[in-house]
Structure 1
């Protein structure tokens, strides 16, 4: 990803956010796949749908942060806030599944990294 403007600290924050989002997309895809292989109940369905939402929102966040010459516009701020919410929802769903399947902790940790990276970037943009 080539970031074209902003201070070094902003570029670093954008790069961290993109890396966290990309990693969460991969982990969420694995988690959603695991949900499909698990005998379903409400928790499995909630986790699966939260994973799908997270994949879409994180992918969009990565694309917007990657192609914009400036990231301080209202669309970027709204998307970062949405990304945090999607990561939090996925984290809660994965936490409930992790009680049954410890492997879901990987998703929970990736969600926390996205929440933190988005929060740090938002703080710089506000």
Structure 2
């Protein structure tokens, strides 16, 4: 990972955010696979698509943060905000599906970690 700043606080938050995004990608892939195994309606599709969105956004965020970090990076800020939104949408979809299917294992904890990690990094950037 390349981080072009001397700030230990920023470096710590970048590492935390990349780790959270990478973990969520793995968990969301499992969650999306589980969605495919359920015979359901639009609720299953909603959860599946939210998982796929989260996978793509978190993968992009992780790659961008691994390449570089600048205080003036509007793309970085925009992607971190998008990552938070994708994680929140996935959380809502998975929690709703969990309410319909007792015992459903969701990726909501990993989504919350991404939301928190992105928020913390945004706070350092701003």
Counterpart for residue 45 of structure 1? 45
Structure 2 Cα separation of the partners of residues 10 and 89 of structure 1 = 26
Q: Report the CA distance shift for 1:55/1:33 in structure 2 as closer, same or farther (over 3 A).
A: same
Structure 2 Cα separation of the partners of residues 6 and 40 of structure 1 = 50
Counterpart for residue 96 of structure 1? 96
Secondary structure of 1:102 counterpart: coil
Structure 1 Cα separation of the partners of residues 16 and 72 of structure 2 = 16
Structure 2 Cα separation of the partners of residues 48 and 12 of structure 1 = 32
Structure 1 Cα separation of the partners of residues 21 and 82 of structure 2 = 12
Q: Report the CA distance shift for 1:30/1:71 in structure 2 as closer, same or farther (over 3 A).
A: farther
Structure 2 Cα separation of the partners of residues 97 and 71 of structure 1 = 39
User: Could you give the per-residue CA deviations for residues 16-57 of structure 1, whole angstroms, max 9, x where no partner exists?
Assistant: 000000000000000000000000211100000000000000
Gaps of 5+ in 2: none
Q: TM-score, normalization: structure 2?
A: 0.93
Contact 2:2 2:68 in 1 (8 A): no
Q: By how many angstroms is 1:2 displaced? A: 3.7
Counterpart for residue 32 of structure 2? 32
Q: TM-score, normalization: structure 1?
A: 0.93
User: Could you give the per-residue CA deviations for residues 55-105 of structure 1, whole angstroms, max 9, x where no partner exists?
Assistant: 000000000000015254100000000000000000000101222143434
Contact 1:20 1:114 in 2 (8 A): yes
Gaps of 5+ in 1: none
